[in-house]
Copies of this chain bind each other. A is one copy, B any other.
Amino acid sequence: MGKGRLEAFSDGVIAIIITIMVLELKVPHEPTLEALHELWPTFLSYVLSFVYVGIYWNNHHHLMHTAQSVSGGVMWANLHFLFWLSLFPFTTAWMGENHFEALPTALYGVVLLMAAASWVVLQFAIMRHDGCESPLRRALGRDLKGKLSPLLYLSAIALSFYQRWIADLIYVAVAMMWLVPDRRIESPD
């Protein structure tokens, strides 16, 4: 089974997710600076999520490049990953509109954590399908970033209820860490 349609479908879903997030930036009725100023937290959370979805799209591109073909298992692992990604607009808007309050900040981290977990499952599904000679297996190596991120998300979720600004900073830091393109996978092409 070819991987073309899986890539096209994922591109479509990710493109829609990244774009509908901007709909939560509700257009104010007054043409004033105050009205605009109130949107500041929503805008910041939109930027953060745009970067996260961009990172995932970028890595998805690399990941699928290493896959040789796709099985039914890979397809469902991919849909499972897209499911968690589809919750980004919700958690982003909730966190932004409530000015990075404790609970929305924690939930934002939970969805980030689940997306990261489903990403690992997707990687495993591809490696299992492609067998021992999977290029992904060699490319991944120790996967330090992949192992560090869930730990950082977990600590941010816990910190949300005590020092929520540190939790938000951790989300920013993890995004920064991933912004560097994943050379492990990019190189073997």
Contacts and interface: CB of A to CB of B under 8 A. Distances in A.
A175 to B, nearest CB: 12
A5 B11 contact: yes
Interface residues of chain A: helix, strand, loop or mixed (majority): helix
Tallying the copies of this chain within the complex gives 4
A58 interface: yes
A39 to B, nearest CB: 9
Contacts of A168: none
Interface stretch (A29-37, A132-140, A150-158): A29-37
A93 B27 contact: yes
A15 B13 contact: yes
Interface string A1-40: 1000111110111111111101111011111110010000
* Of A5, A33, A98, most B-chain CB atoms within 10 Å: A5
A27 B54 CA distance: 23
Contacts of A90: 22, 25, 27
Interface residues on A, range: 35 or more
A117 interface: no
Interface in A77-113: 79, 82-83, 86-87, 89-90, 93-94, 97-98, 101-104, 107
B87 A22 contact: yes
A72 B16 contact: no
B24 A103 contact: no
A75 B102 contact: no
Q: Which 9 A-B pairs have the closest CB atoms?
A: A72-B181, A12-B15, A31-B101, A31-B98, A16-B19, A27-B93, A54-B79, A13-B15, A9-B11
Interface of A: 1, 5-9, 11-20, 22-25, 27-33, 36, 47, 50, 54, 57-58, 61, 65, 72, 75-76, 79, 82-83, 86-87, 89-90, 93-94, 97-98, 101-104, 107, 179, 181, 186, 189
